[in-house]
């Protein structure tokens, strides 16, 4: 039977690009032919988000393209506003150069896109929108809309790596479970009076987590802000003047780095959990944002998607572009997906409800206990950096 490609990857974000590049690198003999369906005309480098990549994700990405703009995170300070208990995670205690990295979305996209157009086994289809696929016993047909009109691509397997309605239609009968956190994240770039190089901060408040990530290099005074709260509060903060917003931010965060003296590049994103089960059906799989969308607390979303990408390419290397490879991939990823999604969801809810005030002393005691039990703390940190590999 004639196929246009061995694989179709719908979605050219960091996870989809990683799959395409990994496939090209891992092919020992004939590279699998890949259609990379990209809804954008050019690489979206102006996205205001700053991504948190774990040290484990750097190990996966470095052979593919690592951005020069990545700022190492060597210490993470975790606390809760108005209550005792804090936890400090230092990379030196884990014999690592960094726990993770703060990376501008555009910088990562530039690094991964790189020379993708010169890889002979990859056909990069830009300004193309995927529709609902149709699979049969032999392959998958994916209708796409392009500037030249509708087309149909035929392949042995389809990998859906982007969210949206087309991803939801990829697996017939899939269960889409989720949760509206009734929160929005205010993003921005803030400057502080007394920076601590390579420190990241996660501060739990009654309305939601507040994170500051170091950006701009080892000596910069700039931090990426992720401030989660009620949607109305996020919109109010989006609209208010700089001085008022910085004063409110200082009241929530405290004086650990002096005053907040400037803010720019504000944006607001709604927050919710969405999970797809099963993530594989026959010749189709969903990974990354198509499979799970997580709350930004602890910065696990993209790291989980990159582990999806690596495990999928490993399964394809062992079993080829077959349904058996996708089934192998699903079995291998089940435990890590479940644990990471459950942990992130719990953190998002535990510290962001009225009940959080009642349990705050218990959470503070848990932070203190982890500080006193290095093996337990080490196990938690390794899960955050590398996931569950079994």
Is the predicted pLDDT of residue 50 greater than 90, yes or no?
Answer: yes
C-alpha 290/C-alpha 312 separation (Å) is 14
- Residue showing tokens 């582990």: 307
Residue-level pLDDT at 351: 77
For residue 120, the 8-state DSSP code is T
C-alpha 111/C-alpha 322 separation (Å) is 30
Is the predicted pLDDT of residue 29 greater than 60, yes or no?
Answer: no
Residue-level pLDDT at 244: 97
Q: What is the CATH number of domain 5-350?
A: 3.50.50.60
Residue boundaries of the structural domains of the chain: 5-350
Q: How far is CA 213 from CA 186, 249, 356, in A?
A: 14, 15, 24
Q: What percent of the chain has pLDDT over 70?
A: 93
Q: What percent of the chain has pLDDT over 90?
A: 71
**H or E segment at 59?**
helix 55-61
Residue-level pLDDT at 357: 66
The three-point CA angle 255-258-262 to 5° equals: 115
Residue-level pLDDT at 389: 64
Residue-level pLDDT at 42: 75
Strand partners, 104: 50
Is the predicted pLDDT of residue 101 greater than 70, yes or no?
Answer: yes
User: What is the pLDDT averaged over residues 53-69?
Assistant: 94
Q: How confident is the model at residue 27 (pLDDT cuts 50, 70, 90)?
A: low
User: What is the pLDDT averaged over residues 227-242?
Assistant: 96
Tell me the whole-structure pTM to 2 decimals: 0.93
Cβ 147 vs Cβ 41: under 8 Å: no
Cβ 145 vs Cβ 127: under 8 Å: no
pLDDT in tens, 345-379: 998 888 766 666 677 777 777 777 788 888 888 88
Residue-level pLDDT at 353: 63
pLDDT in tens, 310-326: 999 999 999 999 999 99
pLDDT in tens, 105-149: 999 999 999 888 888 899 999 999 999 999 999 999 999 999 889
Cβ 298 vs Cβ 276: under 8 Å: no
Residue-level pLDDT at 337: 95
pLDDT in tens, 262-308: 999 999 999 999 999 999 999 999 999 999 999 999 999 999 999 99
Residue-level pLDDT at 172: 79
Q: How confident is the model at residue 232 (pLDDT cuts 50, 70, 90)?
A: very high
Q: How high is the mean pLDDT of the chain?
A: 90
């Amino acid at each position: 039977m004639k196929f246009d490609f061995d694989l179709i990857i719908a979605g050219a974000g960091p996870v989809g690009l990683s799959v395409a590049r990994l496939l090209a690198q891992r092919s020992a003999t004939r590279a699998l032919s890949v259609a990379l369906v990209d809804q954008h005309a050019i690489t979206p480098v102006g996205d205001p988000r700053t991504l948190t990549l774990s040290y484990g994700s750097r190990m996966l990405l470095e052979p593919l393209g690592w951005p020069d703009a990545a700022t190492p995170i060597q210490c993470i300070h975790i606390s809760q506003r108005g209550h005792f208990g804090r936890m400090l995670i230092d990379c030196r205690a884990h014999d690592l150069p960094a726990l993770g990295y703060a990376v501008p979305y555009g910088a990562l996209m530039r690094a991964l896109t790189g020379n993708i157009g010169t890889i002979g086994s990859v056909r990069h289809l830009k300004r193309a929108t995927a529709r609902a696929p149709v699979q049969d016993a032999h392959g998958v047909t994916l209708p796409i809309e392009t500037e030249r009109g509708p087309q149909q691509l035929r392949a042995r397997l389809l990998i859906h790596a982007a969210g949206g309605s087309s991803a939801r239609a990829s697996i017939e009968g899939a269960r889409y479970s989720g949760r509206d956190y009734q929160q929005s994240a205010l993003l921005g770039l803030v400057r502080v009076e007394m920076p601590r190089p390579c420190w990241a901060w996660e501060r739990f408040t009654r309305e939601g987590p507040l994170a500051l990530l170091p950006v701009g290099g080892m000596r910069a005074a700039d931090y990426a802000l992720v401030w989660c709260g009620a949607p109305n509060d996020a919109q109010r903060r989006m609209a208010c003047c700089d001085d008022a917003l910085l004063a409110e931010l200082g009241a929530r965060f405290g004086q650990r780095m002096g005053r907040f003296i400037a803010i720019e590049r504000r944006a607001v994103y709604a927050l919710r959990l969405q999970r797809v089960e099963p993530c594989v059906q026959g010749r189709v799989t969903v990974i990354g944002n198509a499979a799970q969308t997580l709350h930004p607390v602890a910065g696990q979303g993209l790291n989980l998607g990159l582990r999806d990408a690596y495990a999928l390419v490993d399964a394809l290397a062992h079993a080829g572009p077959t349904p058996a490879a996708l089934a192998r991939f699903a079995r291998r990823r089940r435990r890590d997906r479940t644990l990471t999604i459950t942990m992130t969801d719990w953190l998002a809810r535990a510290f962001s409800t009225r009940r959080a005030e009642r349990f705050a002393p218990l959470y503070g005691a848990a932070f203190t206990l982890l500080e006193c039990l290095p093996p337990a703390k080490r196990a938690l940190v390794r899960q955050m950096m590398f996931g569950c590999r079994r």
